[in-house]
Amino acid sequence: MAKYTYPAIFAHEDDGGYSVYFPDIEGCYTQAEGLAEGIENACDALCLMLYELEKQGKPMPKSSNIKDIEADEKDIITLIACDTVFYKNYFEGKSVKINATIPLWLKEEGEKHHVNFSQILQNGVKEYLKIK
């Protein structure tokens, strides 16, 4: 799971809203009333599609160069980034129990200070893996 960036086309609709699609990602569409909402919705749609591809073990589509994309002159072409690690944590963030070993003296000292060992382990692993 990783971070990805793909070009998106924001097609301006007659009602003032936008239809958003990704030329490189088949079936990845969304819509919005304004640009800010469109960017947020596009990120969510992209992340959902890529996360599903990851879960299925499928390869990621090649991201086109934004300069090579053709669109109507009233449309907006922009890059949308997403983080499937964040998406996975958000939707599958259940906790699991693991077994860890530390010296007895460290356990006792930690308990005296009401240390949350699980939280410290989580934070340490995230830092080690450079996950925010």
pTM of the complete model: 0.68
Classify residue 56 by its DSSP letter. Answer: T
Please say if the pLDDT value at position 1 is more than 70: no
Whether residue 12 contacts residue 71, with contact meaning beta carbons closer than 8 Å, is answered with no
How many Å apart are CA 96 and CA 12, to the nearest integer? 45
Q: Of 20, 24, 86, 8, which is closest to residue 60 (Cα–Cα)?
A: 24
Rg (CA), the chain: 21
Whether residue 77 contacts residue 63, with contact meaning beta carbons closer than 8 Å, is answered with no
Please say if the pLDDT value at position 50 is more than 60: yes
Structural domains in the chain? 3-92 (3.30.160.250), 95-132 (no CATH)
pLDDT tens digits along 56-101: 999 999 999 999 999 988 899 999 999 888 777 777 767 777 888 9
